[in-house]
Chains A and B, each alone.
Chain A
């Protein structure tokens, strides 16, 4: 146990910081701080006064004024800093008894200086587009930022959907069309990390480390940063990029804002109702309640999750949010509380052909074979509650601390109805059809809690220390997922009428799945800013330590319906029971390896230096060392190989970032950084989960992924919200983790297993982003071209003239999963302060992308190019009151998935069941329609 020692160290440090004290003074310096260009008062800027080696700080007030009182006589130095602006020149002077009030006015250029790399902290209102432009411009690394103002006007209510507006980002959707994960520059979610206020948060995901981004309501954000190149001071596990959610911080004066809205999806109607259900009363499994040796019977289960299905023809979605903030105690104490509630009804209508695990070698090699043609309707109710609160307190001018708390909870009620009346597959014929229907009610509860205590200390002129103590918890519960299957054979006569029905299998599954991550971590950074050879040089050193514990449990109870009772839409009449009474015993659960405990201790240390090599060339470079130490233990019996293990690795991650300032408003950047991606827990623990087509198992022998990343970018910030960014990137990825089908014994036991591909992957492309306002009308466009390639071994099942049917391994080169060659956003904005009207029409284009990799050659699933058009507006209707609306997916765009196999070449029997096809050289296997979502409401802002 290392962390108590660490906490002690923190405590010590903290106490030392509190020892700083200051002597009394006599005179006064005051003045105003303004923007050199616009003359605007720069509220919130920090004025730093040094006298006799002691430092004092004050914040600039609303009028742009500051003052230092009770100063001693003698020489002084004064400098002003403000996020997004360069530091002012050092003003030197001398206080004498004659000069009792000295006025020093400072005008800041929004140039030169950088925001601190350690953590982006904003004191003032940084929610405007102009403010984030200066962050993008002044940051030492490649970054894109969405401001709160931009997010507010977006048609999106979750962070995931807002992310698709960022240059180079595409999103992966859930079954109901809600964006869930972000793919940054063609690198899928495993390559990206999520920070809240610069602090990494654990994921509630059942298997992976990445965080579902739809859990965050977007209105809680002050800004959304997508950082595409890592500095040594940042955690190194982001090959694609980092999503940093900067939450609203305490304002400089009393703030109150609130909003409420309502809406509906046009998907639902009386003929296609939303199907809601009530959660099962059994939040814990029989084994969790009564112990693993308890033999459960049918009486232990409740079918409420299915039995309570209720049709609602037009469910009403609603959202509400409130933010209150103020500053107290002579502006030393700032508090903000923000709460958000969303209750959204969405869904989709899906048509899907389910491929057999194995294709056929006849008529063509790897001819897809379909076993079922499903019509599925999804109804999803998502309730999100988010509360966050930040308290910052300036102990004195040199010492500030803040406490941040975030709690987010999402309950997703998803009911899925599947009907299959076509009768595909091995045991169906023209006169005997095997049909499968299944209904599933699934409640997924996820939550994230984060509490961060942060301190900032100026230790004299040239030294600064900041630290964070963090506790985070992420949980996911799937209590009593209830699924009912009915598989029957219908016998038909020559005219196609059903003459008999035989129940092949009636099954009822009750499933519980829980995981919980707890992180305790500490961060500390020491910054030293001496002048060397007349130049400002900034050295930083620091590190982090994280102690993570993850516990997961997983159990499925499968009951059978006896096969004698036909299903007539009432499963309560079916006599369910365990096949054998022993199947009801928790200890007989075949998935014991899914009950696991993981302990991971990570620590990282870095050293970085920043200086201007030439007056206009800034260099930031350094190295980071990350140590990972993971131990896992499953509940598998002693005879199971891989039941427990320990995995350790160390990475040395150098990076260098060059920024050349062409002019005041133009930069050229070049950077290199090394990064890693750690395998997910569910990949590394020998886990086994049931997948859509194949079961998936973990692989303790997985190595982590490493990558070399190169970036160049040209930036032009003509002022205001306008910008032009042109960039290019190249990534070389080593030990990429890809999924392969391996035999797990028998023929029906082929499983998907993550493995390190022996070949390296490459990913390169370029990005362009332009925003330009012509008066009240603005245009924003971004486009990213990405080209990634990886060569992996695939199975080819073909008919060899001499050897007969053969399965061989062949290499196939393909893009990385999730990557689209062409991704773009275009929006037209109208912003008129005079009319109090803002409007935005936003269009997202995601080119064809690899949706799922097949183990078989040329049978990968590709998602066809997807366009979505959204509209939103906000109109001030009274002082402080506005009305706003959001319309999503105006054109009812469909998500379609194809196999690149000419559908005309499928065998005659399969042809009968294909459904409507629209591309000659491909086979449409899935189409999902979400329809249009409307939301309208009121906002109040004091």
Chain B
């Protein structure tokens, strides 16, 4: 009983203190002048291409706070190489069926916590209850529009406090040629410039067909985002290929088709750096169940020459554990990992904590402990071999605020959206204080409140995306 006294007092004091803060209050309302946007994009009529004879709508300038813009069906909204489109906080951009948003120049969607931006398709009703809709019937996976494409000349693409929804339609010949980023793509977001910067912070990505975010190459910073219902029958949610360098941290993934985060050096261009991704404090729930192929992973994956690290991550009921691939081999000499947590409702999940056939090296800092029992892991365990995970099923309950484990009532694959669940930690969580804070993010993008990364949150002491102290993922 004694051990609870101090935390309880602390919580009470904290509650009292924050309560007092609310009452205290002070209000200031001081005039400040903001020059009007030089090139405001008009919201009077839909952005339309049908009169031009081609599919292209060139766009630049500023989309103004509070306004709603509409893109006509089948049009490609194109930011030319020397142009910038700035979306002020509180902009809604309604994408027409079969439309796309192609950034050959600069795109900044500068939403805020209070005024997030929306790049979406209007009029679709979400059903996020577990098992509420089959994947075939769920509009999240239907690919209504073609997504955001940062082409080979895109120097900066920022998504801040922005909802991106219902994308992933096949680009098709015309769109992919304008974007210059390969054909046959079905991504919600594609970035393809190894000299450019892709920054996504505090945003939401809902739905998708293939890889919801494909980084063909680029400098990236992907912090504190929430990903739900990503990929219909395959696709890695954040799929970084050859020439991608940066950090993925404090992201929350629910129900990804395959992996949540994947790094590969496949297709490294001449002049591009080796793929090197630092991943920390991410949370993966029920990943990998819509990938029909077996063995493809369900949370984190390093393969084919990729370097980097992954620490402080949490994987709950993912079909496969953290996967390091042996052929073509990841750059294991420059890959480190540890302090990663896994939870299994069932034996089949526990048996793949270290996926069969791959070369993930069990670490002494992993939870559950690799010395849990004689079966987990046996003394003669070799990398990728079959082991008996029965002793680690349903061990070390992470104590989420609202996600009872083991799950009841639905098969694991039906947990694909957050809805009313809440993955913040209870103070009693065994995830608290287990984090490795000695590692450093790999920051390759500019730091800037608007035209860069506004906050590079350092590795946290608690495992997963949500820190008990309120830092980390803000959703």
CB of B430 within 8 A of chain A?
no
Among residues 420 to 468 in chain A, which have CB atoms less than 8 Å away from a CB atom of chain B?
A: 425-432, 434
Whether, in the assembled complex, A494 has its beta carbon less than 8 Å from a beta carbon of chain B, the answer is yes
Tell whether, in the assembled complex, residue B241 and residue A746 are in contact, meaning their CB atoms are under 8 Å apart.
yes
How many chain A residues touch B (Cβ–Cβ < 8 Å)? 57
**A639 proximity list for chain B (CB < 8 A):** 54-56, 76, 174, 177-178
Binds B, one of A69-77, A215-223, A603-611, A804-812: A804-812
B172 touches A588 (CB 8 A): yes
Contacting residues, chain A, for B276 (C-beta < 8 A): 804
Contact yes or no, A427 B293, CB < 8 A: yes
Q: Which residue of A494, A505, A638, A809 is within 8 Å of B386 (Cβ)?
A: A494
Q: Which residues on the A side are within 8 Å of B113 (C-beta)?
A: none
Tell yes or no: B267 within 8 A of A by CB: yes
Q: Is B135 an interface residue (CB 8 A)?
A: no
Point out residues on B near A: beta carbons under 8 Å.
53-56, 76, 152, 170, 172-174, 176-185, 190, 192, 214, 216-217, 233, 241-242, 264-274, 276, 292-296, 303-305, 307, 325-329, 331, 334, 356-358, 384, 386
Per the bound structure, the CA–CA distance linking A593 and B174 in Å amounts to 11
A808 to B269, CA, bound (A): 8
Pairs across A and B, CB under 8 Å, 22 listed:
A360-B305, A361-B305, A428-B357, A563-B233, A592-B173, A636-B177, A639-B54, A639-B174, A641-B177, A688-B183, A743-B267, A745-B180, A746-B181, A747-B216, A747-B242, A748-B182, A749-B184, A804-B273, A804-B274, A805-B265, A805-B331, A806-B273
Q: How far is the CB of A498 from chain B (nearest CB, A)?
A: 13
With known contacts A360-B328, A362-B305, A909-B326, A743–B293 Cβ distance under 8 A: no
A369-B328, A639-B178 known; A746+B185 contact, CB < 8 A:
yes
Once bound together, how far apart are the Cα atoms of A808 and B56, in whole Å? 36
Q: Which of A491, A803, A909 contacts B294 (CB 8 A)?
A: A491
Partner of B273 from the list A489, A797, A803 (CB cut-off 8 Å) is A803
Please tell me if A502 contacts chain B, counting CB pairs below 8 Å. yes
Indicate whether A640 reaches chain B with its CB closer than 8 angstroms: yes
Given contacts A745-B192, A805-B307, contact A356 B384 (CB under 8 A): no
B274 contacts A806, CB within 8 Å?
A: yes
**Considering the chains assembled together, what is the distance between the CA atoms of A563 and B293 in angstroms?**
9
Chain A positions within 8 Å of B326 at CB level: 429, 909
Q: Which residue of A lies closest to B214 (CB)?
A: A746
- CB B323 to nearest CB in A, in angstroms, measures 10
Instruction: Tell me whether A907 is interfacial, beta carbon within 8 Å.
Output: yes
Q: Are B177 and A360 in contact (CB under 8 A)?
A: no
With A362-B305, A636-B173 given, can you name 8 additional A-B contacts, CB distance below 8 Å?
Answer: A489-B294, A640-B173, A745-B182, A745-B183, A747-B266, A748-B267, A797-B305, A804-B273
Query: Given A426-B303, A807-B268, A909-B326: A746 and B192 within 8 A (CB)?
Result: yes
Chain A residue contacts of B181, Cβ below 8 A: 745-746
Interface contact B177-A640, CB-CB below 8 Å: yes
Tell whether, in the assembled complex, residue B174 and residue A637 are in contact, meaning their CB atoms are under 8 Å apart: yes
Contact between chains at B152 and A426 (CB < 8 Å) = no
CA distance in complex: A744, B192 (Å)? 10
A503 at the B interface (CB under 8 A):
yes
List the B residue with the shortest CB-CB distance to A743: B269
Check A504 for interface membership: any CB of B closer than 8 A. yes
**Distance between B378 CB and nearest chain A CB, rounded to angstroms:** 13
- B-side contacts of A426, CB under 8 Å: 303-304, 325, 327-328
Q: How far is the CB of B30 from chain A (nearest CB, A)?
A: 49
| Residue of chain A at shortest CB distance from B242 | A747
In the complex, whether A590 has a CB less than 8 A from a CB of chain B is: yes
Q: Which of A19-41 contact B (CB under 8 A)?
A: none
Q: How many A-B residue pairs lie within 8 Å, measured between CB atoms?
A: 158
CB-CB contacts of A349-383 with B at 8 A, as 1s and 0s? Answer: 00000001010111000000100000000000000
Q: What's the dominant secondary structure at chain B's contact region? A: loop
Chain A 784-798 near chain B by CB (<8 Å), digits 1 or 0: 000000000001010
Instruction: Say whether A910 faces chain B, with CB atoms less than 8 Å apart.
Output: yes
CB–CB A803/B192 < 8 A: no
Most buried by A among B269, B273, B276, B305: B305
- Report yes or no: A590 in contact with B268, Cβ–Cβ below 8 A: no
What is the minimal beta-carbon distance from A753 to any residue of chain B, in angstroms?
A: 14
Contact B329 A907 (CB under 8 A): yes
A750 within 8 A of B: yes
Q: Is the CB of A590 within 8 A of B172?
A: yes
**A730-771 Cβ-contact flags toward B at 8 Å (1 or 0):** 000000000000011111111000000000000000000000
Q: Is the CB of B274 within 8 A of A803?
A: yes
Nearest CB of chain A from residue B217's CB, rounded to whole Å: 7
**3 closest Cβ contacts across the A-B interface?**
A429-B357, A747-B267, A745-B182
Cβ B329 vs Cβ A360 within 8 A: yes
In the complex, A431→B326 CA distance in Å?
13
- The reply to whether B292 and A749 contact each other, CB–CB distance below 8 Å, is no
Q: What is the minimal beta-carbon distance from B127 to any residue of chain A, in angstroms?
A: 21
A488 to B305, CA, bound (A): 25
Residue with the highest number of chain A CB atoms closer than 10 Å, among B190, B268, B328: B328
Measured CB to CB, the nearest residue on chain A to B357 is: A429
Measured CB to CB, the nearest residue on chain B to A593 is: B173
Contact B295 A489 (CB under 8 A): yes
Chain A residue at minimum C-beta to C-beta distance from B327: A909
Distance to closest chain A CB from B144 (angstroms): 12
How far apart are the CA atoms of A49 and B307 in the complex, in Å?
89
User: B357 and A807: CB pair below 8 A?
Assistant: no
In the complex, which residue of chain A has the Cβ closest to the Cβ of B177? A640
Q: Which residue of A lies closest to B216 (CB)?
A: A746
Q: Is the CB of A748 within 8 A of B386?
A: no
Name the B residues within 8 Å of A493 (CB-CB): 386
The answer to whether A431 touches B172, judged by C-beta atoms less than 8 angstroms apart, is no
Contact with B along A158-190 (1 / 0, CB 8 A): 000000000000000000000000000000000
Is A747 a contact of B217 with CB atoms below 8 Å?
A: yes
Q: For B55, B181, B192, B265, which residue has the most chain A Cβ atoms within 10 angstroms?
A: B265
Smallest CB–CB gap between A44 and chain B, Å? 61
Distance in angstroms between the alpha carbons of A362 and B306 in the assembled complex: 12
Docked-complex contact B183 and A502, CB < 8 angstroms = no
B177: A residues at CB distance < 8 A: 636, 639-641
- Contact partners of A749 in chain B: CB under 8 A: 182-184
- Residues of the B chain whose Cβ atoms lie less than 8 Å from the Cβ of A504: 292-293
Closest to A428 in B: B357
| B151 (CB) vs chain A CBs: closest residue | A745
Chain A residue contacts of B214, Cβ below 8 A: 746
Given contacts A429-B356, A747-B241, contact A910 B292 (CB under 8 A): no
Report the bound CA distance from A362 to B328 in whole Å.
8
User: Which single residue of chain A is at the shortest CB-CB distance from B76?
Assistant: A639
Query: Known: A426-B304, A636-B173, A804-B276. Is A745-B179 also a contact (CB below 8 A)?
Result: yes
Residues of B within 8 A of A580 (CB): 170
- What residues of chain A lie closer than 8 Å to B270, measured between beta carbons? 795, 807-809
Quick one: which of B172, B173, B267, B304 contacts A360, CB cutoff 8 A?
A: B304
Q: How far is the CA of A152 from the CA of B37 in the complex (A)?
A: 85
B19 CB, nearest partner CB in chain A, Å? 52
Q: In angstroms, how far is the closest chain B Cβ from the Cβ of A568? A: 18
User: Roughly how many angstroms separate A747 CA and B303 CA in the complex, as a whole number?
Assistant: 14
**For A907, what are the chain B residues with a Cβ–Cβ distance below 8 Å?**
327, 329
**Nearest-Cβ distance from residue B303 to partner chain A, whole angstroms:** 7
A390 to chain B, nearest CB (A): 48
Provide the residues of chain A in CB contact with B358, threshold 8 Å.
429
Chain A residue numbers with a CB within 8 Å of B272 are 807
Partner of A489, one of B182, B190, B293: B293
- Chain A residues near B267 (CB-CB < 8 A): 358, 743, 746-748, 750
When chains A and B are docked, how far (Å) is the Cα of A592 from the Cα of B183?
12
A490-508 Cβ-contact flags toward B at 8 Å (1 or 0): 0101100000001111000
Partner of A748, one of B266, B268, B357, B384: B266
- Could you tell me if B216 and A502 are in contact, using CB atoms closer than 8 angstroms? no
CB closest chain-A residue, reference B187: A746
Assess A804 versus B329: contact at CB under 8 Å? Given A639-B177, A745-B181, A747-B241.
Answer: no
Q: Please, how many angstroms separate the alpha-carbon atoms of A432 and B242 in the complex?
A: 26
- Cα of A799 to Cα of B329 in the assembled complex, Å: 13
